[in-house]
Amino acid sequence: MTLDSNEPVHEHRLWIDGHWTARVIKNEDDDGWAVAMHLDGGSEPALVGPWTMGRDKKNPKPLDTAAFNTLVKTAKEVIRRSEQQLHAQLNKNVTITVDGRRIRIALSIVPNEEGATATLSALDELDEELAQVAVVPTFRLTVDSAQAWVASGFERPR
């Protein structure tokens, strides 16, 4: 059997279907079992969780279609939440009012192995860009820093 093919594998401890692989593994912390869910191309599992013992209370319960589908759904949700959290860490915005106009100030950080970059943008009520400047990725966007940037005429913050 080769795991490189696109053919599904449905074994008691290994289930490969679509872009997902479920592998039942021995739990290193105790006598129990765990299941690891991998998405194709992922170096780390998207999800690792406890797995049920079989009737003999020694071996793991075999994987089946229903369990696999539930594991895929749960792993997708974990990935989605992780992506949302990362997005929130890298993209922040505040809204301020200047001379009766609402201005949204957005900070967008782009991670990069060679060094992250960041952009500060000012947008009006219609999301029309008023200004954009490069800032250091460690720039702290607050209501005060946003107001100071607008008051400076959108000069690059130091």
Angle at 59 between CA 25 and CA 48, to 5 degrees: 25
**How many percent of the chain have pLDDT more than 90?**
84
Place 4 in a pLDDT band, splitting at 50, 70 and 90.
Answer: low
**pLDDT on residue 136:** 95
Each domain of the chain, given as residue ranges in start order, spans 9-63, 90-151
pTM metric for this prediction = 0.73
Q: Quote helix, strand, coil % in the chain, to nearest 5.
A: 20, 35, 40
Q: Is the pLDDT of residue 5 over 70?
A: no
Core vs surface per residue 93-128: b (16+ CB within 10 A) or e = ebebeeeeeebbbbbebeeeeeeeebebbbbeeeee
Average of per-residue pLDDT across 80-100 = 95
Contacts 24+ apart (CB under 8 A), 135-144: 135/107, 137/109, 139/107, 141/92, 141/93, 141/94, 141/105, 141/107, 142/94, 143/94, 143/96
Give the span between the Cα atoms of 65 and 31, in whole angstroms.
Answer: 25
Q: What is the mean pLDDT of the chain?
A: 93
pLDDT tens digits, 129-154: 999 999 999 999 999 999 999 999 99
Smallest Cα–Cα separation from 47: which of 75, 85, 13?
75
Residue 2 pLDDT > 80: no
Residue-wise pLDDT for 26-56, tens only, equals: 987 777 999 999 999 888 999 999 999 989 9
Q: What is the pLDDT of residue 31?
A: 77
As a whole number of angstroms, the distance between CA 87 and CA 105 comes to: 16
Q: State residue 84's pLDDT score.
A: 95
Q: Residue 82's pLDDT is what?
A: 94
Is the confidence at residue 96, as pLDDT, over 60?
yes
